[in-house]
Structure formats: C-alpha cells, structure tokens
Amino acid sequence: MMHRVEPKSVYFKVFAALMALTTLTVWVSYYDLGDFSIAAALAIAVTKALLVILFFMHVRHSPPLTRVAVAGGFLWLVILLVLTLSDYFSRGWLPSPSGW
Amino acid sequence: MAEQHSAALAHQFDDLAQQLDASTFGMWVFLITEIMFFGGLFAGYAVYRSAYPEAFAAGSLHLDIALGGFNTVVLIASSLTMALAVRAAQLGDNPAVVRFLLLTLLLGTTFLGVKVFEYHHKWVEHLVPGPAFHFDGPLAPQVQMMFCFYFAMTGMHALHMVVGVGLLVYFIAQARARRYSPDYYGPVEVMGLYWHFVDIVWIFLFPLLYLIGHRR
C-alpha cells in the first residue's frame, strides 16, 4: 500500500461540503451585492476547487514534488489572469496623447 | 525488497512507490497544461464580461439555473463515485471498481444528456452564435459574444467529458479483467485526477455563466 487509503467517510463529508457550497452559491447569486457578487461566487468556487484538489485528488497526501508542481501550475494561472486583466482594466486610466 | 519483484513494476523504476509517484506527477504536468488552456478561455471571458456586464447578465437569464444546478450536483456526485472507485482500486477490490466506475459513467452520460437538451433549446431559441442568432434589443451583438463564450467554454468542457466517458469504458473493461491490485492501481488514480479536473472546470463555469443575471 503506497498511498494512504482514506476512510470512505472523508469522501462523503467532502461531497456534503461541496453540495452545501453549491446551494450557497446559488442562494447568494439572488442578492445584489454589487462587486461583491463576483467576489462571493469566485470565493465559493475556489473553496470547492480546493476541497476537490486536496481530498478527491489526494494532493493532501501527495509527495512534495507533486505539490510544488500543482502550486506552480496555479501560480502561472494567476500570472496569466493578473497580467491580462491588469492591461485591460487599466486602459483609459491615464490620458494618452492623441494621434497615437 | 520483495516488491522489486512485483510483476506490476516496470523495469525503469526503483520500486512501486516511485512508479506511482511518477505517473501521478506526469498526469499533474498534463493537467497544468489543461489549466492554462482553460485559463485562457476564462481570461477572455473576464475581459468581455467586464466590458459588457449588462449583455452578459441578459444572456445569462436565458440559461436554465435548474438544469445547470442539476448538472452541477450530478458532476460532483460523479467525482464522489470516482474517488470511491480509486479507493476500491487501492484495496484491489475490482468488482467494487467496476460498480463505482459504472455509476460514474452513468452520471457522466446524464450530464452530457442534459447538456444536449440545453444546447438544443438554445438552437430553438436562436441563441447559437451565427447567421441564425436572434436577440431582441440593442445588446444583441454583445449577447451573441456572451453566447460565443458559453458555447466555447461549455463545449470544450463537454468534449473533455466525452473523452472521460470513453476512458471510463476502457477502465471498466480493465477492472472486469481484474487488472488492479494494491500494487497496481496507478492508472485508476490518474483517471480519477482527470475526472476531478473536469469537475473543477464546471465548478467555475456554473456560477460564472448561469448565476449572473437574476440578482435583484
């Protein structure tokens, strides 16, 4: 036995948490929280993704090399999103000389 | 070390643990390329949604929250059965692997069936981007853009589901032939990683596409 065999109850608890968070994300979407609506939706989705990654995908008990690779993958995803969006969102913040 | 003589050990590995770590690590490297691939779609979505928030909200109203929510539950349930299938493979319980993978297959095809129904409904409503697209009001071009993202993102996700369903059929056949044991369950583990990744993509697609139009 090389990887730890989780008790079934762990998977059922994670499933219950994912169901609860799904209900929460639907419920919260009915309220207009302004910019916090998207923040709430993303915070819930990231929490659900973390539950799946750590428990269903066994990253909680993975060797350090795998964990570093996984973390690196998401770090690069953040770079992709932040650099792209910082360009688009900051356009028009500064006046640009006409004729460019 | 007795396990060095295991029939399940490929000759290039020192031991079974290294063999398993190598296959899960390799799968994660592949999944990272998938994360970056879907990441590009999500970045494009963010740029256009921030430019046309009203159009994205208006388009989202034409997506069925009940069907999307049902599919979310179905897909998360399929991740549960997949995790239980991997656990059964770890214990070498091949009949249980077959049962849990069949359940996963059933849930996966249910998801795709609902998706076909939804796509058909969009076709009938003239909401598929292209010459037949029709949307009343001044936001029509931007709503069409929203539906481009809807079909590109859910379509790529559904394509991954179709691949996953095909893989499941293969793994069910392998488990029926009693191929898996505590020494050799790496392939099921890797299949599970793929299935859970596809689940995670949907976890983001559901709130970002279905749940943005109806707030009061």
* CB contact (8 A) between residue B200 and residue A29: no
pLDDT tens across A85-98, in order?
A: 999 989 888 887 77
Name the residue of chain A whose CA is nearest to B74's CA. A19
- What pLDDT shows up at residue B3? 47
Which pLDDT tens digit goes with each residue over B65-123? Answer: 999 999 999 999 999 999 999 999 999 999 999 999 999 999 999 999 999 999 999 99
Instruction: Compare all CA atoms of chain B with the CA of A47 and give the residue at the minimum distance.
Output: B203
Q: ipTM of the predicted structure?
A: 0.93
Encode pLDDT of B131-145 as tens digits: 999 999 999 999 999
d(Cα A97, Cα A95) in Å, to the nearest integer?
7
Report pLDDT digits (tens) over A20-57.
999 999 999 999 888 899 999 999 999 999 999 999 99
Q: Is B50 on the interface with A (CB under 8 A)?
A: yes
Judged against a pLDDT cut of 60, whether residue B59 lies above it is answered with yes
Alpha-helical regions (H) of B52-93: 53-60, 65-90
* CA B215 to centroid of chain Cα atoms: 27
Cβ atoms < 10 Å from Cβ of B125: 12
- Given B83, B203, B212, which is nearest A49 (Cβ)? B203
Contact A85 B47 (CB under 8 A): yes
Model pTM? 0.94
Contacts of B188 in chain A (CB under 8 A): none
